[in-house]
Chain A
Amino acid sequence: MLPEQIRAELEIRIAEADHPQELAVDVMLAFQEAAGYLSERALETAAAMLKMHSLEIEEIATFYTFIYREPVGRNVIHVCDSVICWLDGSESLMDYICRKLGIAPGQTTADGKFTLLPACCLGYCDRSPAMMINRKVYGHLSRDRIDDILARFEREEPA
């Protein structure tokens, strides 16, 4: 489930690390990169690679917003719900996206195109409210701007 070359590279880094645990996030992200999310089997494999208890991996995985323990859509929308964005109306924007896509936070659209999740601070407080899709952050959000951004994904579906 992990490309052999990536796995070999990780094994080398783990062997060289003073504390293999420090690579837990890197290993999890590699699995996620390969499969879209961190599956049960990936969790166990990661634990075995790092010589950690699988519960310890689960603890880290569930702590971080950007590690997905369930399958997600092709594009993951994270709407910032931290305090500055919240002051600037992130709740109503989240609500707008929900209605627009017809899903609740934590859900994936029927066509598998979008998954909607909250995120804590994205570091865009100076351009709040903000959201992140895949790895790109969008600030100064308004309903119109959200329409524009999502329309881009409708048109040019990234490979």
Chain B
Amino acid sequence: MPKLIIDNLEIEVPEGTRVIEAAEKLGIYIPRFCFHHALGAVGACRVCAVKVLEGAVEGVQMSCMIDAQDGMKVSTTDPEAADFRRSVIEWLMLNHPHDCPVCDEGGHCLLQDLTVAGGHSIRRYEGGKRTYTDQYLGPLVQHEMNRCIQCYRCVRFYREYSGYNDLGVTGIAGRVYFGRLREGVLESPFAGNLIDICPTGVFTDKPSRYTGRRWDFERTPGVCIHCSLGCRTTVSARYRQVGRMEGRFSQRVNGDFICDRGRYGFYYADRPGRPRSGRISGQTVSVDQAVYEARDRLQRITEEHGPQAVGVIGSGRSSLQTQSAMVHLCRTTGWQGPVFRNTRITGAAADTAACALNPENAVSMRELETADAILAVGADPVNEAPVLALAMRQAQRAGAQITAIDPRPLEWPFDFEHLACRAEEIGEALASAAERLSDSRRPVVICGTEITDAGIVLQAADLVAGLRGSGKTAGLFCTLPQANSFGAALLDECNACAADLAARVEAGQIRALAVIESDLWHDFPDRPQLEKALEKLDLLVSVDFLDTPLFEKADIGIPSLTVFEAGGIYVNQEGRAQQVRPAHTGGLPITVTGAGDHPPRTFAPNVPGRDMPAAWVTAFCLAGQAPPETDAQMTAWMRYNFAVLSDLARMDADGVRLFAGGKTPIAHEATMPEKPEQCLELLLAAAVFGGEPMSDYSQCLRELAGLPAVWMDRADADRHGIAAGDRVGLGFENGEVSFVVRISDHMAPGVLVVYRHPDIDWQPRAGDTRYNIREDRIRRIEKA
């Protein structure tokens, strides 16, 4: 390993390390615009100049372009190098507008920092500045080309790193332009990263314009809860509401980048309709009143009908605190539950995925980037867990062969081989595709849990075990339905699902339900069954921070806190428990109390709207117990009461891995019955924008969801005389739903795929996420 001296300090670095990185290891920050550790070096900006005093090539050199070599002596402070850097900044500023006071990047702008650091304050050049016409790039990213310093970070990220090609660089010399061929919405679901990665204000955050400047915000490390990956974020809050979200570097989870669902999914937290007071039979009451009323009435039903008459339903979007408090609630009261999943088939798949993971086969997303072969089974990362697609792309760029077994028309931003088969055939296809991993040394099997079942997850886990047995460092990477589905699997004690409880309600065994932060209305596949059950109930208590239809229907509604106010621990799909700190103190945002004007000048000891408890506090209250007083005490309580959580004591900046040990997952039914003749199998699948309950509240993301569409295999479409863009009606048992048709050449024949969409009223019609639709019930309404 080469040993070199930088600014009189000696350091030994691995072969191939650039001087700029070696210096960073010493704590010496060499200025840079184009260099980025995730994107590598291109030597475009010339601002990282250093002077090589001794070495193969002496003199002023770009520190991002030269490898550290043995015996090299480098100075970053040499007057010649410092003067070179100063000149670079001066000429970059020739064309850069002096609009810092009104620029949205102002205050967190690398160019601003380095201009100040370089001492450039007086403009010597008297010529005009070159100007550009900006483009409309969609609802998320604001374009301002005049500020560009041609570092090429944006295209390198967009094209090379993330694999989309509708943003590029046109022109030459003083006319280079970074943008699209024509104005339009950026196609990449990772486009928001342009905002983070641009060293100046060419790409800025559009939805958060005019809400605050960098220095106005309280910035808190956060964890994204819009899918199961648990990417790190930085939450910017101001005036008691979240204003902006950025990606935060994580060595283990997401690296530098996040997806746009994670970046813009937070608007649910401060929307006007969010529950902020208690509700009893439609009447607004204080939160305490609602909690006491709920406790008393649940108590009464318990006394009259026994503890079995009360059921508790939770979900994978609650924090570990809430989930464990719910388990505790049922332990102490004898109530049924808590159940954390909706149906047995998906619940069993997710549970099995969590239980199949062990310290040997678990891989983090960063480790997955070094895989040399990937087999993805029933997983669509772009839609189910977007940042995983970025990690897969990095593996593919490094030479990994990627194979996908899936019925859907997968559109991934990298080369892969798609073995399209129907959902029932995945197991068979997996068995015969396993040999593709035989030549690899570090294979990873990715397994989804949305369209698969527990059998396929087990098969994937067995495959990994077999590969490990033959001496490969094979890994298993499962995606789960929700941010804390893994926590639910760890804590579950009752081996049941919401469908089971609904059946018990119908049978008259359960008379009251406490539904805590559950998306039952949204995710429960059989809406008619759910509605029937709700009607039969004596009492429905809903605890939530979302104004879901279920909350509206509840006899007693109790508001709860979002992750930004309560924080919490969330366990991602690889069993990594990560702590989230509250991003702000909570209470009504000033935009609400001031109604767009200055907030009222009243003096009170309390922040208005701060009387809402976290859901776990409410769970303790429903059990008639005093909750732990602080977050730290709550964590200690969890460790003490749940053996599976005892490792939380070892949680550090990287979180801590929790494993289920020998836990038995919830039992699952046999796989789907064979498809009847003359039917197409209709599959409801996850979409990156649309269909995730929290981010569906973000207006800017709804714009990106497009129109509700059904994907058809070309042969199927031709048989029905249907063309792309036609509008068709699909006749369900309970009525027709209309869709725009998209046609694919690379999806499983005999399958129709509908991606979740906020405007599709699916559940009342289909009653399941899979539906066999008779071919004669497919009707063209309108030609394209």
Contact = CB atoms under 8 A, between A and B. Distances in A.
Q: Specify whether A and B are partners.
A: yes
Interface of A: 53-56, 58-59, 62-65, 120
Interface string B184-224: 00000000000000000000000000000000000000000
B166 A59 contact: no
Nearest to A44: B181
A53 B170 contact: no
Contacts of B166: 53, 55
Contacts of B169: 59
Nearest to B169: A59
A59 B152 CA distance: 14
A53 B165 contact: yes
Contact of B181 (A54, A65, A120): A54
A59 B165 CA distance: 12
B172 A58 contact: no
A19 B165 CA distance: 18
A140 B168 CA distance: 39
B586 to A, nearest CB: 46
A70 to B, nearest CB: 14
Interface in B164-179: 165-173, 175, 177
16 contacts: A54-B181, A55-B167, A55-B170, A55-B180, A55-B181, A56-B165, A56-B168, A58-B181, A59-B168, A59-B169, A59-B170, A62-B171, A62-B172, A63-B171, A64-B172, A65-B172
A148 to B, nearest CB: 32
A128 B647 CA distance: 77
Contacts of A120: 173
Contacts of B177: 62
Contacts of B168: 53, 55-56, 58-59
Interface in B472-500: none
A53 B170 CA distance: 13
A64 B175 CA distance: 12
Contacts of A58: 168, 170, 181
Contacts, number: 30
Interface of B: 165-173, 175, 177, 180-181
The 9 closest A-B pairs by CB, nearest first: A55-B181, A62-B170, A53-B165, A55-B168, A62-B171, A63-B172, A59-B170, A59-B168, A58-B181
A132 B172 CA distance: 20
Nearest to A53: B165
A55 B178 CA distance: 11
A156 to B, nearest CB: 34
A65 B181 CA distance: 18
Nearest to A69: B170
Contacts of B180: 55
B165 A55 contact: yes
Given A55-B168, A63-B172, 20 more contacts: A53-B165, A53-B168, A55-B165, A55-B166, A55-B167, A55-B180, A55-B181, A56-B168, A58-B170, A58-B181, A59-B169, A59-B170, A62-B170, A62-B171, A62-B172, A63-B170, A63-B171, A64-B172, A65-B172, A120-B173
Contacts of B175: 62
A59 B179 CA distance: 10
Nearest to A54: B181
A62 B169 CA distance: 9
A153 B447 CA distance: 71
Nearest to A61: B170
A141 to B, nearest CB: 23
B415 to A, nearest CB: 14
Nearest to B177: A62
B172 to A, nearest CB: 5
A111 B175 CA distance: 29
Contacts of A53: 165-166, 168
A84 to B, nearest CB: 17
A63 B177 CA distance: 11
A8 to B, nearest CB: 26
Among the interface residues A53, A55, A62, which one has the most CB atoms of the partner chain B within 10 A?
A55
Contacts of B173: 120
A54 B165 CA distance: 9
Contacts of B171: 62-63
B556 to A, nearest CB: 56
A56 B170 CA distance: 9
Nearest to B179: A55
A116 B55 CA distance: 49
A108 B173 CA distance: 23
Contacts of A64: 172
A52 B46 CA distance: 31
Among the interface residues B166, B171, B181, which one has the most CB atoms of the partner chain A within 10 A?
B181
Contacts of A62: 170-172, 175, 177
B359 to A, nearest CB: 44
A59 B169 CA distance: 6
Contacts of B167: 55
A56 B166 CA distance: 9
A9 B180 CA distance: 31
Nearest to A60: B170
A97 to B, nearest CB: 21
A117 B177 CA distance: 20
A56 B180 CA distance: 10
Among the interface residues B165, B167, B175, B180, which one has the most CB atoms of the partner chain A within 10 A?
B165
A27 B107 CA distance: 47
A51 to B, nearest CB: 12
Nearest to A62: B170
Among the interface residues B166, B167, B170, B177, which one has the most CB atoms of the partner chain A within 10 A?
B170
A44 to B, nearest CB: 10
A54 B169 CA distance: 12
A121 to B, nearest CB: 12
A53 B172 CA distance: 19
A63 B172 CA distance: 5
A62 to B, nearest CB: 4
Nearest to B166: A55
Contacts of B181: 54-55, 58
A88 B175 CA distance: 25
A56 B167 CA distance: 9
